[in-house]
């Protein structure tokens, strides 16, 4: 067995970089997760009617589970990137963070 030693400063820097990578992976790995209409409306400050209009015009992909529409986080991200609704992009991050807490 080989033992490798490093300075504590270098170790802390490695840990800090790993934390950044972990946060990045968490943000983009959730794109396939599903959120419900209530969560989108609450965090993105859009109305149910807006989401209904986007569904009707086939501008927003969704799935119905137990009678309620659900949306992939990647679809919500696309909706914001394409400017289909106006919203503070930080609100999407809050939605994802909340999803991570409850998952």
Give domain status of residue 1, yes or no.
no
Q: What is the 3-state secondary structure (H, E, C) of 37-103?
A: HHHHHHHHCCCHHHHHHHHHCCCCCCEEECCEEEEEHHHHHHHHHCCCCCCCHHHHHHHHHHHHHHC
Strands 34-36 and 63-65: unpaired
For residues 91 and 79, what is the distance between their CA atoms, to the nearest angstrom? 13
CATH classification of the domain holding 32: 1.10.1660
| Structural domains counted in the chain | 1
SS3 35: strand
Specify the pLDDT at position 103: 54
pLDDT exceeds 80 at position 91: no
Provide the residue range defining the domain that includes 58: 8-102
Give domain status of residue 91, yes or no.
yes
Instruction: Share the mean pLDDT of the chain.
Output: 82
Read out DSSP for 15-28? HHHHHHHHHHHHHH
pLDDT exceeds 90 at position 16: yes
pTM value is 0.58
Give domain status of residue 46, yes or no.
yes
Give domain status of residue 15, yes or no.
yes
pLDDT tens, residue by residue, 33-75: 888 888 888 888 888 999 899 899 999 888 887 888 998 888 8
Tell me the Ramachandran region of residue 99: left when phi exceeds 0, alpha when psi lies from -120 to 50, beta otherwise.
alpha
Give domain status of residue 23, yes or no.
yes
């Amino acid at each position: 067995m080989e033992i490798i030693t490093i300075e504590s400063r270098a170790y802390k820097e490695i840990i800090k970089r790993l934390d950044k990578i972990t946060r990045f992976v968490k943000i983009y790995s959730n794109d396939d997760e599903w959120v419900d209409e209530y969560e989108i409306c609450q965090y993105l400050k859009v109305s149910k009617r807006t989401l209904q209009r986007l569904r009707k015009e086939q501008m927003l992909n969704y799935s119905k589970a137990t009678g309620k529409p659900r949306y992939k986080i990647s679809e919500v991200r696309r909706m914001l990137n394409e400017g289909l609704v106006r919203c503070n992009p930080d609100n999407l991050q809050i939605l994802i963070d909340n999803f991570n807490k409850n998952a």
